[in-house]
Amino acid sequence: MVTTNEYKNDTKHYKGMNISIILFVFVLFSTIGLYFYNMTIVSKIEAMQTQVAQVEESIKKVNEDEKVKLYVLIQANKTYLEKYKYLSNIPMFINSLKELARVHRVVFDGFSYANGEIISQLTAQNDAVTLASAKTTKFLEYFRKKDEHIFSLGFVNSFQGQEGVSFWVKFQVK
Amino acid sequence: MNNNAKYKFLTYLFLLLTVFVVFLFSKNLYTQITENTKQKQALTQQLEEKNAQYQEISKIKSDIDSWAVQDIDFDKFLSNFSEDELVEYFYSYANNNPSKVQIQTIGLSQWAYNEFGFMEAKIDLWVTFSSEKDMLDMITFLQNSQKYNFFIHELNYSLGNTLSPISVNIPLKVLYK
């Protein structure tokens, strides 16, 4: 004959067993679920790796075209090429110097150009209307007070003469 | 074995099996899933970037093929740096302007890649010009060359000398791919 206490004890252990079975089944199914989920991710990864390889191959094929390579290179160095071209515009620089000489009634002697820097010797002579010193001052003023020219004038640290004032000028192409 | 002991035994057995499954399988699978998810995310990003790159480059190619790119003279960049063609190029100009231009020497240096990825070669052109104007004409001709990308970044001459002939070294740079 089963006593009430024994019955209660059996039921308690029976419940405990059921819980442990449910827990085990839950863990087992969860693990199986994780396994299939992992398999799905792995197959997606493989598919994506294939896709990446295909796209890379397509890029490589397009890149084999010399014109495409060149276009990319030119676009990447557009600023550099524009500067290269601009600094190569020697006739424009010489004509600008000549225009400066005409406007300020001075003479440039020599033209030494290297990478955007021009060195020349400037001479201003007295004439019937203007003193050489006034021409010199006006010339320097033009560069110091306005900033409109394609050249900027470097600091001039030495002047020779009075009736004919000469000095070295160093222009930087802007 | 009474029921109580049987239940107890089975409870511990299933608990043990649960722990066994968790530590031997679930834990590893969870770690793998975490790593694979990260890898998948990285691949998704990589694929997006590659697709964007491919689209960009395909557009460039189709633009080039359909002549939509007109601001670049490809032929000038793709021309060969060969002595015969260059020498012929300079002498033909001089021969067409015999009273204005007299070539003294032409010095060619081997090309090398510059810092921007272009091939760059140097040409030293020693020329005697009848006048400053003739010199400027030739420089303009070289700058506007239909065949080569010439650049001149150095020049020394006696500015203002308009009467006597001028001998000048024109150091040319040629850029190509």
Question: Are residues A112 and A60 part of one domain?
Answer: no
Q: How far is CA B3 from CA A4, A8, A14, A19, A103, in A?
A: 15, 12, 8, 16, 120
Q: Give residue B49's pLDDT band: very low, low, confident or very high (50, 70, 90).
A: very high
> In this predicted model, what pLDDT tens digit does every residue of A25-73 receive, in sequence order?
999 999 999 999 999 999 999 999 999 999 999 999 998 988 888 888 8
pLDDT tens across A108-164, in order? 999 999 989 999 999 999 998 899 999 999 999 999 988 788 999 999 999 999 999
- Whether residues A120 and B159 touch (CB distance < 8 A) is answered with yes
pLDDT score, position B174: 92
Judged by CB atoms within 8 Å, which residues 66-85 of A form the interface with B? 66-74, 76-77, 80-81, 84-85
Closest Cβ opposite residue A68 in set B22, B57, B152: B57
Give yes or no for residue A3 having a pLDDT over 90: no
Alpha helices in chain A (DSSP H): 4-63, 66-76, 78-86, 90-104, 132-145
When pLDDT is averaged across residues A71-95 and rounded to a whole number, the result is 91
Tally of residues, chain B: 177
Question: Do residues A166 and A91 both lie within one domain?
Answer: yes
Q: First-to-last CA distance in chain B?
A: 91
pLDDT digits (tens, 9 = 90+) for B50-92: 999 999 999 988 888 887 777 778 888 887 778 899 999 999 9
pLDDT of residue B110: 81
CA neighbor of B173 nearest in space, from B134, B125, B132: B125
Q: Which of A64, A95, A111 is the last residue of a domain?
A: A64
Q: With a threshold of 0.80, does the pTM exceed it?
A: no
Query: Does A110 sit within 8 Å of B158, measured CB to CB?
Result: yes
Residue A168 sits in the same domain as residue A89: yes
Per-residue confidence (pLDDT) for residue A13, from 0 to 100: 83
Spatial distance between the Cα atoms of A101 and A119, rounded to a whole number of angstroms: 14
Both ends of chain A: CA-CA distance in Å? 112
A55 with A134, same domain?
no
**Based on C-alpha coordinates, what's the Rg of chain A?**
44
Least confident of A5-14, B1-10, B147-156, B168-177: A5-14
C-alpha closest to that of A70 among B77, B33, B119: B77
Give the strand order in the sheet containing A151-153.
Answer: A151-153, A164-173, A117-125, A107-114, B154-157
For residue B36, the model assigns a pLDDT of 97
Residue of B nearest to A76 (CA): B116
pLDDT of res. A2: 56
Domain with A94, as residue range(s), is 85-173
Domain count within chain A: 2
**Nearest CA of chain A to the CA of B109: how many Å?**
19
Is A152 a member of any domain?
Answer: yes
For residues A42 and A100, membership in a common domain is answered with no
Q: How far is CA A144 from CA A130, A139, A140, A141, A148, in A?
A: 20, 9, 6, 5, 10
Distance CA A159, CA B149 (A): 41
Q: Last residue of some domain: A34, A64, A94? A: A64
A37: CB partners within 8 A, 6+ apart:
B33
User: What is the phi/psi pair of residue A149, to 5°?
Assistant: -80, 160
Interface touch B10/A20, C-beta < 8 Å: yes
Q: Is the dihedral of CA B173, B174, B175, B177 positive or negative?
A: negative
